[in-house]
Amino acid sequence: MKAGLLITMHWLFFYASIKYANISIGVVCYCLTSFFTAVFKPLIDKEKLKISELLLSTFTLLGISLIFHFDTSYQLGIILGVISSAFGALYTIYNNRLVRHFDTKVINFYQMIAGTLALGAFLPVYLLIFPADSIVPDLKNTAYLGILALFCTVGLYVAFAEVLKKIPAFTVNLTFNLEPVYAIVMAFLFFGESKEVGLPFYIGISLIIASVVLQTLISVWKKEIT
For residue range 187-213, list pLDDT tens digits in order: 677 766 555 456 766 677 677 777 767
Amino acid at 5: L
Cα 146 off chain centre by: 20
Q: Is the dihedral of CA 138, 194, 10, 15 positive or negative?
A: negative
Q: What is the pLDDT of residue 69?
A: 61
Q: Which of 14-28, 68-82, 166-180 has the highest mean pLDDT?
A: 14-28
Mean pLDDT of the chain: 79
Count up the domains in the chain and report the number. Answer: 1
Percent of the chain, pLDDT > 90? 17
Residue 115: per-residue pLDDT: 92
pLDDT at 104 over 90: no
Q: Is the separation of the CB atoms in 42 and 48 below 8 Å?
A: yes
pLDDT digits 0-9 by tens, 13-62: 999 998 888 777 777 777 778 778 888 888 888 888 777 777 777 777 77
**What pLDDT does residue 196 have?**
47
Question: Per-residue pLDDT tens for 120-132?
Answer: 999 999 899 888 8
Mean pLDDT of 64-93: 79
Highest mean pLDDT among 42-51, 102-111, 210-219 belongs to 102-111
Cα 191 to Cα 104, 184, 188: the distances in Å are 35, 10, 6
Name the band, by pLDDT with cuts 50, 70 and 90, for residue 105.
confident
Evaluated on CA atoms 92, 59, 202, 167, the torsion sign reads negative
Interaxial angle between packed helices 32-45 and 23-30, expressed in degrees from 0 to 180 and rounded to the nearest 10: 30
Global model pTM greater than 0.85: no
Domain that holds residue 117: 2-225
